[in-house]
Structure 1
Amino acid sequence: MPDSTPKTGEQAPRPVPGLPARAFTMDAKRRRELATAFKVGGAHYDAVRPNYPDAALAFMVPATTRDAVDVGAGTGIFTAQLLARGLNVTAVEPSLDMLAVLRERLPEVRAQEGTGEETGLEESSADVITYAQAWHWVDPNVASTEAARVLKPGGKLSLVWNQLDVSVPWVHRLARIMHAGDVHRPDFVPPVGPEFHAPESGSWIWEQSLSAEQVIELAKSRSYYLRAGAATRARVEHNLSWYLYDHLGHTPGEPFGLPYLTHAWRARLRS
């Protein structure tokens, strides 16, 4: 691994704004504006975003689960992992571009347009409802009410985020250059409605093997880059190239481990 320690005289990286926590302080209009970044680019998103640790799925999905709903399913990254567990899976996603990728990738999954606030699903039809990298895009109170309607008695609402592990100094600086907000905040607890018991949490540290080129492509899948103009995009790419190749010394095409922390919560429906 190349030396990623800041050189003498460099300033320590500033704190990274917290997402998902930050998203829950936004008004609904601003949250919808940011979410429009994902109306296009489904194929690129699917190619660069990582899967989730098996241990996180085991934590989120009870062993007795038969019917699962994945809301904000995107291109089906987490949906596919639910399907691999032998579950009957329904995917709900507001972006038609993302849905097109999901349907091509997972033709056996029931996939429909919808939101966490309005899934369009039948009452008491799911054992578990999952949100992978998506709960911060909904109104948590309205989405909780909708989840409670769709869940069977005793069902679970399970939430998960893959987050860059910014406890590692060089990753912390990378997150700032990428303008990545999905970073770990130890005190963060996702808000859920009164229909659910207080959520239980679990976390897992792991690495995704990527080349420097793939890290740059990962940055291009994030909402900051997708919403930016040409000049800002060029600056982000230039800064990433300098940091990965010149500062950290990575060789083009050579994979290295990008540290992640996956944090998940599960909340049981009140009777």
Structure 2
Amino acid sequence: MHPPVPPISSRDEPRFRDRERKNALAAAFQEQGEDYDRLRPGYPGAVLEAMLAQMPARAAGGEGRAIDLGAGTGKLSWALAERGLSVTAVDTSAAMLETARRGGASLPTPSGTASPAAALATSPAAALATHLAPAEATGLPAGSAELVTVAQAWHWFDAATASAEAARLLAPGGVLALVWNMLDVTIPWVHRLSRIMHAGDIHREDFTPTVGPELELTARSVHQWEDPMPTGDLIDLARTRSYVITAPEERRAKVLANLDWYLHEHLGHAPGDLVGVPYRTDLFLYRAARQSLVGLRGC
């Protein structure tokens, strides 16, 4: 039987002023592929293993198929391919998917792997395909994945139609994984960093995603870890935030100058110092509701 899900409230995820503002912020990432891939963190090995452990094909010793919705530059897609899955990265940005096809950045991931390209050299079973489409209507065959993932992107989708599409894509017994990396703002200096950076993807402690009735939550977990970054890269990380991307030049320059002051003067780091940036990764696992009920009856 599945372990009990920790009690959490049903508060909404981050709110947007209106649909037009939401679309403008989402579009801001379209041309940020290289910087986004170089500067945004990967995903801890424990999070990946928690996803894979629930896959029916993995339990049976198979390799498994995954569809990564809103894949962007393929940060999560490549991590799954590295572990032997056949992965289809789905996104609406051709520029982001082009970065994904090139194999992503060469920076180490939290699990210590060197690069996606290097991983493929040692894991010939790994495979990554890309598919240009919205998450709400991928056009991919029904039941074509044992694992469907969404990393940093669910709040950009229409939850009702994306839920129905995810449930349609899942093979029998398959798992949907929603995952977010967030700065760990329980640490005071990180909280101030997030405010200066205007990090808008910080959820409340009792956050839970909105999903449709086709899906049933089966597990939730929080993983804390650090991503080491030189101070210059940490400043540049702000450039990948939708608020900074869409801000007027004067406001953007002020944000970056404030970050420079905070890191180098207030916190006392020398330029280029390596800073361990604390993150928390929230993982939510779902199964199609009817499959979950059948599984529970058989326990």
Q: TM-score, normalised by structure 1?
A: 0.88
User: Partner residue of 1:80?
Assistant: 78
Answer whether contact 2:182 2:202 (CA < 8 A) is retained: yes
* Alignment CA distance shift 1:114-1:142 (3 Å): same
Offset, 1:27? 4.6
Q: What secondary structure, in the 3-state scheme, does the structure 1 residue paired with 2:244 have?
A: helix
Q: Tell me, in whole angstroms, the C-alpha distance in 2 between the residues paired with 1:76 and 1:156.
A: 19
Alignment deviations for residues 38-94 of structure 1 (CA, whole Å, 9 cap, x no partner): 110201111101110111111123253401000111111111110011011111011
The one-character-per-residue Cα deviations of 1:91-128 (angstroms, maximum 9, x if unpaired) are 10111110110112179411011111111211111111
In 2: Cα distance, 1:26 partner to 1:70 partner: 27
Equivalent residue for 1:153? 172
CA distance in 1, matches of 2:267, 2:172: 52
- 2:138 maps to what in 1? 119
- Give the drift of 1:28: 3.8
Corresponding residue of 1:162? 181
> Which of residues 236, 257, 262 in structure 2 aligns to 1:238?
257
- Pairwise mapping of residues 200-215 of structure 1 onto structure 2 (< 5 A)? 200-215=219-234
The residue identity in structure 2 corresponding to 1:22 is: P
Instruction: Tell whether 2:286 aligns with 1:257.
Output: no
Out of 147, 151, 169, the position equivalent to 1:128 is 147
Counterpart in the other structure of 2:21: 30
Match of 2:90 in 1: 92
Structure 2 CA distance, aligned partners of 1:30 and 1:207? 32
1:186 alignment partner AA: E
- The Cα of 1:157 is off from its aligned counterpart by 1.1
Correspondence 1:229 to 2:248: yes
- Superposition deviation, residue 26 in structure 1: 5.6
Work out the percentage of aligned pairs sharing the same amino acid. 47
> Which of residues 67, 77, 88 in structure 2 aligns to 1:69?
67
Q: Are residues 164 and 21 of structure 1, via their aligned partners in 2, closer, same or farther at CA, if it must alter by over 3 Å?
A: same
The aligned counterpart of 1:3 is: none
1:42 touches 1:74 (CA, 8 Å); kept in 2? yes
State the distance in 2 between where 1:136 and 1:179 align.
17
Q: What is residue 12 of structure 1 aligned with on the other side?
A: none
In 2, Cα distance between the equivalents of 1:91 and 1:263?
21
1:217 and 2:236 aligned: yes
2:215 counterpart SS class: coil
Matched residues, number: 251
Which residue is 1:268 aligned to?
A: 287
Which string of whole-angstrom CA distances, capped at 9 and with x for unpartnered residues, describes residues 5-62 of structure 1? xxxxxxxxxxxxxxx9214x66544322210101102011111011101111111232
Q: Distance in 2 between matches of 1:200 and 1:182?
A: 21
Contact 2:164 2:212 in 1 (8 A): yes
Structure 1 unpaired stretches of 5+: 1-19
Report the aligned-residue RMSD: 1.6
Question: How far is 1:185 from its partner?
Answer: 1.7
Q: SS state of the match for residue 245, structure 1?
A: helix
**Distance in 1 between the 2:20 and 2:173 partners?**
33
Structure 2, gaps ≥5 residues long? 1-11, 59-63, 104-115, 118-126, 291-299
Alignment partners' CA distance in 2, 1:242 and 1:220: 16
In the alignment, which of 145, 154, 157 is matched to residue 138 of structure 1?
157
Give the counterpart letter for 2:98 in structure 1. A
One-letter amino acid of the counterpart of residue 213, structure 1: G
Q: 1:154·1:270 contact (CA, 8 Å) conserved in 2? A: no
Distance 1:259 1:117, change over 3 A: same
